[in-house]
Structure 1
């Protein structure tokens, strides 16, 4: 056998070995994902206060509209398909009204708290598509208000969650490279304490918790967990990075309202259906807080 044939044979064998190894890794990751999805998570909670007063409903309506709930569950709470890349990745939020197909119709006070704050279903499994890391630090009053509004939504027909993951994504979840919310959360933390609402750092920090699901716990940005490959990385929100575009709160507010940068280009992926509903106070407080974070490494 001449050298060319030997080289070709060795290359073919090496390629075959790589294919076998990749297939084995994919299978192992998928099996780990199934086990992970079915794991039981025990978190003791006291349960949210089930309110129906006018103040709670008004606050809850605002939170539902401005904190991302609409993007996954729809304005009427009946659920919606919010991600379908045409390549096998399909994700839909479930119906959370009291109508046919609801997943919350039998929720107890404890179920509401575990689901929203901890990303855990009434059966003790992780809620795959619930970004509870964004809501874990809600105060008791805000959690109660949000639940009050959801329970007040008109009954509508809808369906359960859809979580269709391509095998590579499922494998990455299985080996821990794409964590679910229940993995990210420190379940032992006590609920956040109320702070004075206003354009101040404390309130800005409170509002900023809604950003960590995409931008990370330190708001340094990076690849959005579980997002399609074509999605851009979430921006680094620390001084010295993208916030340089928004030197004042007015520019920041305009971006939230329009979904566009100062140069007119569209900001991709951001949930502007919700962000555009945020109050001036919340947006200005958030801008103040982000502007006062420790600067990005290597920047002034």
Structure 2
């Protein structure tokens, strides 16, 4: 084949591949815009809000220990969760009293956002990890909302969600899902659960880990996170498990509060230690007991 003909065909092939890639990206971005604006039709009922001291303290405990502080800060004013310097910026909104974000929230709007990952206007809350909170009992949901409605005013603004081009394209292609896509919205809430050292309570508490470690708890790369974020650890007894490092519930609890393994090495700071350190002994020991019962999976199977 003459060199000129070969070069022409190679150039045409390259141009064709470039055009196909551009078309795919364009369709992915258009699909992402559609998904961001779609309406998620849900019938959501309000839950009773308690006003007794014990329930309000339970709500405060849930807020501090279940990961809310990582997006909304301890006082509820919001904080930056992700800023990769390449266009992906996520800042949680102010959700304390007086915030414009939640000023008109009804109880069912709180339930819709927390349990289902859907905004009051029916659009998905793209970075709200509601898969972690979908099974909260009605009692705990009510206690949490009651606490949120009593949080003192604090400085802070609305949510900031700036999606990088790769993130948005992957979202449009379905490689990244929002919580409203992941959740089985027909599942009933969990029954009331006390903070006791039981496998049932351990499963209830460990649901806060699903967003990062996957529904099967075997970890792997967390979809949509910056490239420098490490994969989530395998919490099952399978190949590549992180759990053999912890010979007892006490060692596991110490790591969750200190961010360090029994050998002194540091666990990645992307773990939500601001929240995990707030878990009480019963919940941590129950989680450890539950993780021992998981079926073995190889690391990264989510």
TM-score by length of 2: 0.93
Which residue number in structure 1 is paired with residue 159 of structure 2?
161
Stretches of structure 2 that go unaligned for 5 or more consecutive residues are none
Whether the 8 Å CA contact 1:99–1:157 is kept in 2: the answer is: no
Distance 1:297 1:87, change over 3 A: closer
Which residue number in structure 1 is paired with residue 252 of structure 2?
252
Which residue number in structure 2 is paired with residue 62 of structure 1?
61
Deviation at 1:2, TM superposition (A): 4.0
Whether the 8 Å CA contact 2:88–2:164 is kept in 1: the answer is: yes
For the residue of structure 2 that corresponds to 1:110, the secondary structure is helix
What stretches of structure 1 move > 6 A for 4+ residues in a row? none
Cα distance in structure 1, aligned partners of 2:24 and 2:267:
36
Which residue number in structure 2 is paired with residue 272 of structure 1?
273
Cα distance in structure 2, aligned partners of 1:70 and 1:252:
21
For the residue of structure 2 that corresponds to 1:255, the secondary structure is helix
Stretches of structure 1 that go unaligned for 5 or more consecutive residues are none
For the residue of structure 1 that corresponds to 2:149, the secondary structure is helix
Deviation at 1:51, TM superposition (A): 2.8
Query: Size of the alignment, in residue pairs?
Result: 296
Cα distance in structure 2, aligned partners of 1:96 and 1:72:
10
Q: Could you say what the CA RMSD is over the residues aligned between the two structures, in angstroms?
A: 1.6
Which residue number in structure 2 is paired with residue 87 of structure 1?
86
Which residue number in structure 2 is paired with residue 105 of structure 1?
103
Deviation at 1:53, TM superposition (A): 2.2
Q: Give CA-to-partner distance per residue, 1:99-131, whole Å, 9 cap, x none.
A: 24x311110011011011011111001011111
Cα distance in structure 1, aligned partners of 2:57 and 2:194:
18
Cα distance in structure 1, aligned partners of 2:92 and 2:83:
12
Deviation at 1:52, TM superposition (A): 2.7
More displaced 10-residue stretch of structure 1: 111-120 or 236-245 = 236-245
Which residue number in structure 1 is paired with residue 148 of structure 2?
150
Deviation at 1:23, TM superposition (A): 1.5
Deviation at 1:148, TM superposition (A): 1.1
For the residue of structure 1 that corresponds to 2:109, the secondary structure is helix
Which residue number in structure 1 is paired with residue 131 of structure 2?
133
TM-score by length of 1: 0.94
Whether the 8 Å CA contact 2:137–2:193 is kept in 1: the answer is: no
